[in-house]
Amino acid sequence: MHVCLVAVSPALFAAPEVRIALPERCRLLTRQYFDLRVEAHGLTDTSASLTLRDELGNDLTSRFGPADEVTADNDPTPGDFDKSWVFRAESYPTEGIKTIIAEVRDTSGTSGNDTRKIGVQRFKTLVRPTNKKNLILFIGDAMGQNYRDAGRIVSRSTGGRFREGFFDDLLEMDRMPYLGMVMTHSLNALVPDSANTASAWATGNKTVNGALNAFPDNNDWRGTPAAQLDNPRFETLWSYLRRLHGYKTGIVTTAPVSDATPAAEGAYTIWRGQQDDIARQFVDGTFTSGPVFDVILGGGRRQFNSRFDQRDLLQELVSLGYTRVDDRTSLNALAQHEPPDRLIGLFHSDTMTVTYDKLGHLRPADESSTASSAFPDQPFLEEMTARALATLSKNGSPYILMVEGGSVDKQSHGNQAAGTIWDVIELDRAIGVGRNFARANPKRPTLVLATADHNQSMQVLGVVDSTVPGANGNVHAEDPYYYLPGSVGGFPDYEDDAATGYPRNDNRYRMAVGFRTHEHTASPVPLSAEGPGASLFTGVWDQTDLFFKMARVLDSDTTKLDRLEKERLKLQIVDQNYGE
């Protein structure tokens, strides 16, 4: 009896421990939705009460409350009373630094508290709809600097254009005038995954690896679907612009559309593996009423029409007015001058066939084809991009579009060099479509960005002579790294294929690459920018800044800033292409 009292009584009089579940350096736009979750443990019982205050001590509880969800027994500690309050879809109407103090009092009469600050950036209401700008965000999944270099060397050295070390021809993304470097670390790891990195630009906040626009809470240890889908969330820029500013929204990818990178524009879960629910969220909406996107193009048909809940999401979208296409032929049959209002095209049950295999090129002996007899007629990313832009810009609407080359990463995980590099080239051709579309439609200015979500370990090593027996242009992570059979000096001699516009891979001198691992790396990734406000994107900065920079450009008059471009042109250096 005595021992028992000694053990229990300190807990009886200890103050409750309180945590406001918001990530480090939480930032929002005015009117951007977020969920506020307060977690308390060490309580005498679960009748404890919560008071929310500002920095002056003013009671904010009624401003937020009542809580949408109140739960007990969330954390894994047995014999400890805990309680959580969740306030859904909150927002701040004004800019500034906002303080939230959460104070929890239990029946012992003691209380504990936690304080968090939130930085709120103003997003001006755009009075004149003609002022609204478009945004196209191109993502090469894992397309770090070496991947861009590899894409340039293979696709731009053709026809003798690589002369004495000079390139006459740059990639589309290289031609964009401004370049920045973006740090991609996740909330809990130096090396990120594709879910948290996309969440960073989609919402402006960091989260843990594997999470989409949601951040950790104290019941994640359960691992159940309910626990994965109840986490506090930040609204995405796609949802925000659609809900408040009349933007058309779209995602285009070669991955399943419910895969991490495209999912992050419109879905919310602590675990990216919830792909059926991600597809459901696209259709049902989370902060929007109804679908969050006007255009969805990519792979992943399975999550739409072969689902655990028997819903046919494709059919549902068709009944909501979406035009459905299932293959390249029907996509390209859509009239460019009279596009559909809304467009859904899922061209594969899973990840789409990669560029190299769509071209019908013969894979090197150490790589395997992704060609599928079930899906013989799949479009190229540039074709999907063209149709997406035509649909989104119909009737002069402003739009925001994310276009992803998804298999740069997927092929790189398997150290499949040809698969990876030709996918970089495919994305670059899509970037060309986006840049041309922006130039051809100057009435509404378009910011074009091209970057990666994170890096991977491929490096450009040199050149091999493919006629040398045992020549190896692809050093896998497991191979010794110091010896490159068939290595020669000089330059590669790739040729374009007139029929496809892509380089062939049957030339003698080929670029050699090496992979250090099968995984992502922690290096920052380059970002190229063109269009209104593009000079804001220079320097070295965090991936969460991308969200606030994009928002800043969309809600600001960038005319003065953009005059800098004219001044830059006046200071051009002498052209190295002096007459041939």
Residues in contact with Zn ion by CB under 5 A are 409
Nearest CA to 348 out of 254, 258, 252, 281 is that of 254
By CB atoms closer than 10 A (0-12, 13-18, 19+), residue 470 is exposed
Dihedral of the alpha carbons of 490, 496, 502, 503, in degrees to the nearest 10: -30
Nearest-CB residue for Zn ion: 409
- Tokens representing 300 are 């992943």
Q: How many angstroms separate the CA atoms of 475 and 264, rounded? A: 33
In single-letter form, the type of residue at position 520 comes to H
Cβ nearer to Zn ion, comparing 184 with 385: 184
- DSSP β-ladder status, 34-43 and 17-20: antiparallel
CA angle 409, 428, 251 (to 5 degrees): 70
- In the complex, least distance from residue 180 CB atom to Zn ion, rounded to whole angstroms: 22
- In the complex, least distance from residue 517 CB atom to Zn ion, rounded to whole angstroms: 11
Cβ nearer to Zn ion, comparing 367 with 409: 409
- In the complex, least distance from residue 301 CB atom to Zn ion, rounded to whole angstroms: 22
At 279 the three-state DSSP class reads: helix
- In the complex, least distance from residue 275 CB atom to Zn ion, rounded to whole angstroms: 15
Cβ nearer to Zn ion, comparing 256 with 492: 256
Cβ nearer to Zn ion, comparing 409 with 530: 409
- In the complex, least distance from residue 364 CB atom to Zn ion, rounded to whole angstroms: 21
Nearest CA to 259 out of 216, 222, 210, 311 is that of 210
Cβ nearer to Zn ion, comparing 265 with 383: 265
Cβ nearer to Zn ion, comparing 276 with 409: 409
- In the complex, least distance from residue 456 CB atom to Zn ion, rounded to whole angstroms: 7
Cβ contacts of 400 within 8 Å, gap of 6 or more: 134, 135, 136, 137, 237, 238, 241, 247, 248, 249, 250
Cβ nearer to Zn ion, comparing 142 with 171: 142
In single-letter form, the type of residue at position 406 comes to G
Helices (H) and strands (E) in the chain, counts: 17, 24
